[in-house]
């Protein structure tokens, strides 16, 4: 990765080892300093890294604006939840369910992509928004006449990830360290997030990645150069959705409970904002965006007690304040730094020329 | 037959509200090519301002029509100020930026408006005090209230006025010219910034009236009410052919009727399998189908591809 700058091989190795060690001890460090809740937040951040990287393939690489991305997350989550809970009394292994969720999400990605291939930009954004809402409405209502999704109540008691005799929902002691579920899940999520990063980076420089970027830059020209734009676009939708599907399955097992409320348009927008805020098309930027947008709003929770201390009462509900800041941040970000915090080189150039 | 007529009446009322909101979307899209996601929330602000005025004056000796007039006036002032300020602060600087930037700004504005409203009016459902006692009439088996008739007629009058305004007046012509080609319009001596600001002014004024209609019709306001309404009105605009003013009117009416009929009949058609709780799906199905099959909408020629 270009992130680890420096041409000296020894230096590079040192930096790599440093990052690896830091990631390995991170949950215990966080646990000791900020508390257990924050370990959980780190876990969620890793899920969002996966989601944002998936959406980055669709929006950042291929330039297809998707406002319904959370639907794929929902597909993954619900396929996991339905087949690993008392809902139908099926308790399949995650080894089957994660790939299945990924596959189903990819199928949905193609189903969404196929009819909308002709559309671009705003129109595509609106169609994907429509698809996302349709899926959410169905999840919300498929409890009658046959109860499939349990409607607005959601699905509870979802099986945690377990293999052999080891279940991630239990606490294990290993020498001086205690691994509570949030710690164990951290390592699983970290592995998946790292895999997503590697896949993203490798994809970007692959033939397909270059084809995506070509389509993003100028579809007509890409077509003229012999790129099969239809297949390549569908592949972008499918690959992006796959990331979402896996993340969804992990989310369901981690939470143990899901309901349609977790898959609203706002969540789609949130993931899109992570991609845009960090720097569209740039893997490092997207990871940064996901981490920041998960952590910063959580930090605002402390505002509640702070208000209590200063004014004697809570004037602004912290969760409302969080949304206010989020909206404001979107507007200010677009006005002052539309390329994101860490833009990709191409994107930066593009914006520079667009602004003239 | 009773169901059909009743749902048709309901659909037309719903449709006239959609149409008024859709006008705001379509005018802004036509002139600067932006999906103004915040427009639905401006309707919400209009509705809640109207609610505040009505609630404050409800117990007093002020006669009902005056209360409504005051509510409409206050809502229009607030919404117009809001609409024009948003354009000035958030959209104008991004007019030449890649398309994603203004879209995200609009989404940010929408969230900002919603949660500002949540702070001002709380997150409760706000019930409108009974100012009007609508009289019910039965026409051929369907129930119609005078409030419904009033909403429908007001919407028709507003649409006719707007159509006349855009077609006949100087500033209307300037709006159409700016829509055709902003740069050339500027060269011809049209103050493009003023025209765009004016478009937002008109759209937001209509949104205020739509907000008043919604709160009168349903009797309940909520900080989140603009969201779904906005999406549906946008659907209506797309259905008619986005950027086309008469398209928005047609699309709004049609979508209202389709939604009302579909939610009235879906239970019977599917043998009770699907209920009217799926009503929100129809708008989105219409949206997806129209965009996939005929992106230019019902009226309106082929659109140039927008990147």
Interface of B with A in 184-213 (CB under 8 A): none
Provide, as residue numbers in chain A, all residues whose Cβ is less than 8 Å from the Cβ of B105.
330-331, 334-335
The pLDDT tens digits of the residues spanning B70-124 come to 999 999 999 999 999 999 999 998 888 777 788 889 989 999 999 999 989 988 8
pLDDT the model gives residue B211: 95
Are the CB atoms for B126 and B222 separated by under 8 Å? Answer: yes
pLDDT the model gives residue A123: 79
- Of A13-17, A70-74, A329-333, which one has max mean pLDDT? A70-74
- DSSP H helices, chain A, are 9-33, 36-55, 70-83, 94-116, 121-141, 181-204, 207-217, 219-224, 229-255, 265-278, 283-299, 303-311, 318-336, 345-355
pLDDT the model gives residue A353: 60
A:B CB pairs within 8 Å: 135
Interface of B with A in 89-148 (CB under 8 A): 90, 93-94, 96-105, 107-116, 118-119, 123
Residue B149 pLDDT greater than 80, yes or no: yes
B291 and A CB contact within 8 Å: yes
Provide, as residue numbers in chain A, all residues whose Cβ is less than 8 Å from the Cβ of B35.
122, 125-126
Indicate which of B41, B95, B228, B288 best probes the interface with A, i.e. most A CBs within 10 Å of its own CB.
Answer: B288
Name the residue facing B281 among A122, A134, A316 (closest C-beta). A134
Subunit contact B109:A327, Cβ cutoff 8 A: yes
Subunit contact B114:A269, Cβ cutoff 8 A: no
Q: How far off is chain B from A140, nearest CA to CA, in Å? A: 9
The pLDDT tens digits of the residues spanning B278-302 come to 777 888 888 888 888 877 777 765 5
Nearest CA in chain A to B227: A265
The pLDDT tens digits of the residues spanning B9-49 come to 889 999 999 999 999 999 998 888 888 989 999 999 999 99
Mean pLDDT of B169-177: 90
Q: How far off is chain B from A34, nearest CA to CA, in Å? A: 29
Mean pLDDT of B182-187: 87
CA distance A200 to A98: 19
Mean pLDDT over the full length of chain A: 83
Indicate which of A117, A274, A331 best probes the interface with B, i.e. most B CBs within 10 Å of its own CB.
Answer: A331
CA distance B12 to A153: 34
pLDDT the model gives residue A18: 83
Position B305 confidence tier, pLDDT thresholds 50, 70, 90: very low
Nearest CA in chain B to A216: B307
Residue B6 pLDDT greater than 90, yes or no: no
More confident residue, A28 or A79: A79
Provide, as residue numbers in chain B, all residues whose Cβ is less than 8 Å from the Cβ of A125.
35, 103
CA distance B204 to B83: 6
- Least confident range from A43-52, A251-260, B78-87, B137-146: namely B137-146
Q: Residue with structure tokens 């919404």?
A: B79
pLDDT the model gives residue B304: 47
Return the SS3 of A313: coil
The pLDDT tens digits of the residues spanning B192-214 come to 899 999 999 999 999 999 999 99
Residue A334 pLDDT greater than 70, yes or no: yes
pLDDT the model gives residue A356: 42
Is A66 exposed, middle or buried (CB count within 10 Å of its CB: 0-12, 13-18, 19+)? buried
Position A305 confidence tier, pLDDT thresholds 50, 70, 90: confident
Interface of B with A in 243-282 (CB under 8 A): 272-275, 277-278, 280-281
Task: Please give the torsion angle defined by the CA atoms of residues B242, B245, B251 and B253, in that order, rounded to the nearest 10 degrees.
Answer: 160
Provide, as residue numbers in chain B, all residues whose Cβ is less than 8 Å from the Cβ of A328.
108, 112
Subunit contact B103:A129, Cβ cutoff 8 A: no
Position B52 confidence tier, pLDDT thresholds 50, 70, 90: very high
Subunit contact B90:A335, Cβ cutoff 8 A: yes
What is the CB neighbour count within 10 angstroms for residue B110? 24
Position B271 confidence tier, pLDDT thresholds 50, 70, 90: low
Q: How far off is chain B from A319, nearest CA to CA, in Å? A: 10
More confident residue, B8 or B306: B8
Return the SS3 of A114: helix
The pLDDT tens digits of the residues spanning A217-261 come to 888 888 888 888 888 989 999 999 999 999 999 999 888 888 888
Nearest CA in chain B to A268: B107
Subunit contact A122:B281, Cβ cutoff 8 A: no
Considering chain A, what percentage of its residues have pLDDT values greater than 90?
Answer: 15
C-alpha pair distances (Å), B175 with each of B24, B26, B274? 14, 13, 45
Provide, as residue numbers in chain A, all residues whose Cβ is less than 8 Å from the Cβ of B98.
338, 350-351, 354
The pLDDT tens digits of the residues spanning A124-180 come to 888 888 888 888 888 888 877 777 887 788 888 888 877 777 777 777 777 777 777
Subunit contact A276:B104, Cβ cutoff 8 A: yes
Provide, as residue numbers in chain B, all residues whose Cβ is less than 8 Å from the Cβ of A325.
none
Q: In the numeric block, which tokens belong to residue B19?
A: 């149409």
Subunit contact A329:B107, Cβ cutoff 8 A: no
Residue A17 pLDDT greater than 80, yes or no: yes
CA distance B221 to B210: 13
Q: In the numeric block, which tokens belong to residue A76?
A: 């993954």
- DSSP annotation string for B271-283: TTSS-GGGHHHHH
Backbone angles phi, psi at B160, to 5 degrees: -65, -45
Name the residue facing A331 among B108, B272, B284 (closest C-beta). B108
Name the residue facing A122 among B96, B231, B306 (closest C-beta). B306
- DSSP annotation string for A179-229: E-HHHHHHHHHHHHHHHHHHHHHHHHTSHHHHHHHHHHH-HHHHHHTT--H
pTM recorded for the entire structure: 0.85
Provide, as residue numbers in chain B, all residues whose Cβ is less than 8 Å from the Cβ of A324.
111-112, 115-116, 119
Indicate which of A64, A127, A260, A339 best probes the interface with B, i.e. most B CBs within 10 Å of its own CB.
Answer: A127
ipTM of the complex: 0.84
pLDDT the model gives residue A6: 52
Q: How far off is chain B from A210, nearest CA to CA, in Å? A: 19
DSSP state of B125: P
Provide, as residue numbers in chain A, all residues whose Cβ is less than 8 Å from the Cβ of B292.
115-116, 118-119, 127
Residue A1 pLDDT greater than 60, yes or no: no
Q: Which residues contact A34 (CB under 8 A, 6 or more apart)?
A: none
């Amino acid at each position: 990765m270009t992130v680890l700058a420096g041409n000296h091989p020894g230096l590079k190795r040192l930096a790599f080892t440093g990052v690896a060690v830091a990631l390995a001890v991170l949950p215990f460090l966080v646990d000791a300093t900020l508390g257990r809740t924050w370990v959980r937040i780190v876990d969620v951040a890793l899920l969002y890294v996966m989601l944002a990287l998936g959406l980055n393939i669709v929006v950042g690489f291929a330039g297809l604006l998707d406002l319904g991305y959370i639907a794929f997350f929902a597909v993954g989550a619900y396929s996991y939840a339905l087949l690993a809970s008392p809902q139908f009394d099926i308790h399949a292994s995650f080894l089957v369910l994660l790939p299945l969720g990924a596959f189903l999400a990819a199928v949905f990605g193609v189903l969404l992509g196929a009819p909308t291939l002709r559309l671009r930009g705003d129109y595509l954004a609106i169609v994907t928004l429509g698809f996302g809402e349709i899926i959410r409405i169905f999840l919300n209502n498929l409890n009658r006449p046959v109860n499939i999704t349990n409607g607005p109540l959601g699905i509870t008691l979802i099986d945690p990830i377990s293999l052999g005799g080891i279940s991630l929902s239990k606490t294990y002691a290993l020498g001086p360290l205690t691994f509570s579920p949030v710690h164990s899940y951290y390592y699983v999520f970290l592995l998946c997030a790292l895999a997503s990063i590697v896949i993203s980076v490798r994809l970007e420089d692959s033939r397909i990645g270059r084809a995506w970027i070509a389509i993003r830059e100028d579809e007509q020209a890409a077509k003229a150069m012999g790129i099969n734009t239809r297949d390549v676009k569908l592949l972008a939708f499918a690959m992006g959705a796959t990331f979402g599907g896996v993340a969804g399955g992990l989310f369901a097992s981690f939470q143990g409970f899901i309901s349609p409320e977790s898959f609203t348009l706002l969540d789609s927008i949130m993931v899109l904002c992570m991609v845009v805020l960090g720097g569209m098309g740039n893997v490092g930027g997207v990871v940064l965006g996901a981490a920041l947008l998960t952590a910063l709003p959580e930090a605002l929770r402390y505002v509640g007690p702070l208000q209590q201390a200063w004014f004697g009462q809570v004037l602004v509900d912290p969760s409302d304040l969080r949304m206010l800041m989020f909206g404001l941040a979107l507007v200010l970000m677009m006005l002052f730094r539309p390329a994101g915090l860490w833009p990709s080189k191409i994107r930066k150039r593009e914006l520079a020329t667009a602004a003239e | 037959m009773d169901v059909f007529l009743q749902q048709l009446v309901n659909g037309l009322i719903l449709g006239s509200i959609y149409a008024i909101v859709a006008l705001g979307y379509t005018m802004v899209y036509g002139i600067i090519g932006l999906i103004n996601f915040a427009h639905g929330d401006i309707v919400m602000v209009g509705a809640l301002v109207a609610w505040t005025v009505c609630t404050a004056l409800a117990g007093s000796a002020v006669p009902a029509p005056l209360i409504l007039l005051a509510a409409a006036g206050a809502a229009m002032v607030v919404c117009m100020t809001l609409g024009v300020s948003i354009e000035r602060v958030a959209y104008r600087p991004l007019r030449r930026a890649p398309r994603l930037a203004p879209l995200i700004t609009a989404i940010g504005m929408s969230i900002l408006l919603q949660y500002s409203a949540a702070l001002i009016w709380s997150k409760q459902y706000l019930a409108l005090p009974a100012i009007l006692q609508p009289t019910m009439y039965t026409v051929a088996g369907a129930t119609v209230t005078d409030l419904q008739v009033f909403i429908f007629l007001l919407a028709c009058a507003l649409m006719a006025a707007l159509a006349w305004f855009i077609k006949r007046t100087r500033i209307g012509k300037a709006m159409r010219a700016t829509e055709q080609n902003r740069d050339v319009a500027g060269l011809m001596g049209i103050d493009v910034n003023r025209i765009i600001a004016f478009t937002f002014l008109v759209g937001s004024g209509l949104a205020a009236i739509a907000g008043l209609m919604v709160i009168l019709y349903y009797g309940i306001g909520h900080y989140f009410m603009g969201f779904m309404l906005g999406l549906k009105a946008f659907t209506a605009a797309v259905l008619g052919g986005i950027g086309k003013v008469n398209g928005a009117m047609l699309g709004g009416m049609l979508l209202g009727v389709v939604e009302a009929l579909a939610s009235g009949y879906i239970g019977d058609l599917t043998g009770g399998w699907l209920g009217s709780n799926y009503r929100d799906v129809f708008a989105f199905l219409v949206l997806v189908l129209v965009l996939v099959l005929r992106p230019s909408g019902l009226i309106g020629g082929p659109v140039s591809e927008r990147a």
